[in-house]
Amino acid sequence: MPIEPVQSAEEVSRLAFGFMASKALFAGLHVDVFSRLSAGPLTAQELAAQSRVPVNRLRILLHALLAVGLVCLDDEQFSNAPASELFLSSHSKYDFGDYLRYLRIPVHADHRFRCKPITHSVPSRSLIPVEPDHRFRCQADHFLAVTGIVH
């Protein structure tokens, strides 16, 4: 089935910003947000205490997850969206979060497959992965580093 050509600015924007949803998903898996929320709704402060991630950084992540529909917010408490509960919580028999985490593991130890170093003096738009096939993993790593979730 052929893919329809992109026709509108909205479609271009969806493609341009689509990777952000992926970054938020991988960051949420990294700090185990979905498994932690499986026990019930929690505030950002409670999740920060459990995950040992600074609350300001975790709040950014939670609102990114909220924006893409992976978590819900009710009266300052975050909870898993139905699909997140089923497929991203380690407490679910349908969890495939480990598989998604596996996709982020570099398959080559060769330095050519790593991202270029990230420094505060380099604008993010100038970050170009060394290997094009690894650009999405590099972008997700960059998101984790910029938000301070991973050092």
pTM passes above 0.85 = no
Per-residue confidence (pLDDT) for residue 19, from 0 to 100: 81
Q: For residue 37, which of 68, 58, 60 has the smallest C-alpha distance?
A: 58
> With bands split at pLDDT 50, 70 and 90, how would you rate the model's confidence at 32?
very high
Give the domain ranges of the chain.
13-98+107-147
pLDDT tens, residue by residue, 5-24:
989 998 888 888 888 888 88
Residue among 47, 43, 44 at smallest CA distance from 59:
44
Structural tokens at position 107: 């398959």
CATH domain 13-98+107-147 topology: Arc Repressor Mutant, subunit A (1.10.10)
Give whole-number Cα distances, 12 to 5, 8, 84, 123, in Å: 10, 7, 27, 23
Statement: residue 60 has pLDDT above 60? yes
pLDDT top residue among 102 and 15:
15
Is residue 56 pLDDT above 60, yes or no? yes
